[in-house]
Structure 1
């Protein structure tokens, strides 16, 4: 089995060195940088399974890098490293496409556990993912989801989707008209070992809706209060 490749973007030399030593001792291949601009230049030249991004560092910050990496490689997992503890800072990172965050100071074992959990989730999803049989383009209501380019398309316009957003839309496509419980969606998209709250799911749905609205399209996703979401039957369609 090939080793997982991890990008570490952290400006504190002590934390960066500690991360590199720890991750390499666990068998990961690590590329490290102290600058957001350097991280940006490294990313298209290499393929990473995970990026650990400090929020505040010289050059591009972790938020900007998260958006950039999501557009270039939706499959790469992202964990934000942040000294900020306010909820709004964590929420912003998740909205921009981060898979997780960890607040400094943090323990080595906690970080390793979070990394291992992400890799277990993605590995389990790859083995059991029925969406691999789906066509490259899906239709939900008036919208087209291009799975090859991670784009949401409507009347000649498009906008980028994160991997989580794409997977959520795939679930709505696979189950038109069905009410999908929040916990079910979390299990199918984030994995059964996800320990976060349903608020993360709600934030991702809100982001999808904003993107639909930005394209001028009607929203085919209905909120079923206290339960979850569904793609309205009369507006959802499936094509092969």
Structure 2
């Protein structure tokens, strides 16, 4: 084991292929992670009842009647644990649906283990709280139209003060918008701001993320007042900042 790279993060690998499970287990255990495996949805549920995980690596095609998309919906309904979808079906529609239901990333088989690791570390970095300094930090809070986005706590409060749960991707997207309010952002710029790396340039990935975010902050998602589309260009955040 590479002792200098111990991470303590706990991973759940859900894949029906024993070779994939073995490969991921060996690689990530050597990198210092704790790894638990499941071959199908039933086994996944059992593992989730037994302990908490930092990231779930979830295959799209699984036996037992429930595929990876079904299981991702089930997980997201109960938890905001990051989900990385691993699949041999490199289909744009599958990617969009996966991201729309709350997956944090999507990588097609065959994959390079180092790329999976890099994406995994990126997810963990985005969720890791900042080290607490000696002096109490000043929280960074941005208000818009009576909403409050606490960038320090990664928390969103609606106008009634109720917390609205956001996935990692949704929080990063809203943060990008409030930091660039009034500026038209192309899909490429949004991809860069929310992912911090270059992805395959299919525009509908960003569109799916925005659809999900609108459902949580817009009074009428079909007639958005905060996140507006600019035909042929991208999106603009038009809410007035407090």
- Category of TM-score, reference length = shorter chain: 0.7 to 0.9
Shift of 1:190: 0.9
Match of 2:57, SS?
strand
Contact conserved, 1:7 with 1:31, CA < 8 A, in 2? yes
2:218 corresponds to 1:197: no
2:236 corresponds to 1:230: yes
Cα distance, 1:144–1:125 mapped onto 2, change above 3 Å = closer
Contact conserved, 1:51 with 1:79, CA < 8 A, in 2? yes
Shift of 1:226: 3.9
Question: What residue number does 2:166 align with?
Answer: 161
Shift of 1:62: 1.6
Question: What residue number does 1:209 align with?
Answer: 214
Q: Structure 1, residues 142-184: CA drift from partner, whole Å, max 9, x if none?
A: 7666887966747799875322112212232333323334333
Aligned partners of 1:127, 1:143: CA distance in 2, in Å? 22
Aligned partners of 1:126, 1:184: CA distance in 2, in Å? 24
Question: What residue number does 2:113 align with?
Answer: 111
How many residue pairs end up in the alignment? 226
Aligned partners of 1:237, 1:49: CA distance in 2, in Å? 33
Cα distance, 1:237–1:198 mapped onto 2, change above 3 Å = farther
Aligned partners of 2:13, 2:60: CA distance in 1, in Å? 12
Aligned partners of 1:47, 1:144: CA distance in 2, in Å? 29
Question: What residue number does 1:95 align with?
Answer: 100
Cα distance, 1:205–1:215 mapped onto 2, change above 3 Å = closer
Q: Structure 1, residues 42-70: CA drift from partner, whole Å, max 9, x if none?
A: 33643323211112323643213323433
Contact conserved, 1:146 with 1:153, CA < 8 A, in 2? no
Shift of 1:187: 2.4
2:128 corresponds to 1:123: no
Contact conserved, 2:146 with 2:158, CA < 8 A, in 1? no
Aligned partners of 1:124, 1:54: CA distance in 2, in Å? 22
Contact conserved, 1:158 with 1:215, CA < 8 A, in 2? no
Give the alignment's Cα RMSD to 1 decimal.
Answer: 3.6
Question: What residue number does 1:66 align with?
Answer: 72
| The one of 11, 17, 30 aligned to 1:12 | 17
Between Structure 1 and Structure 2, which shows a larger proportion of helix residues? 1
TM-score (norm 2): 0.73
Please list every run of 5 or more consecutive structure 1 residues that lacks an aligned counterpart in the other structure.
none
Contact conserved, 2:25 with 2:35, CA < 8 A, in 1? yes
Please list every run of 5 or more consecutive structure 2 residues that lacks an aligned counterpart in the other structure.
1-5, 131-137
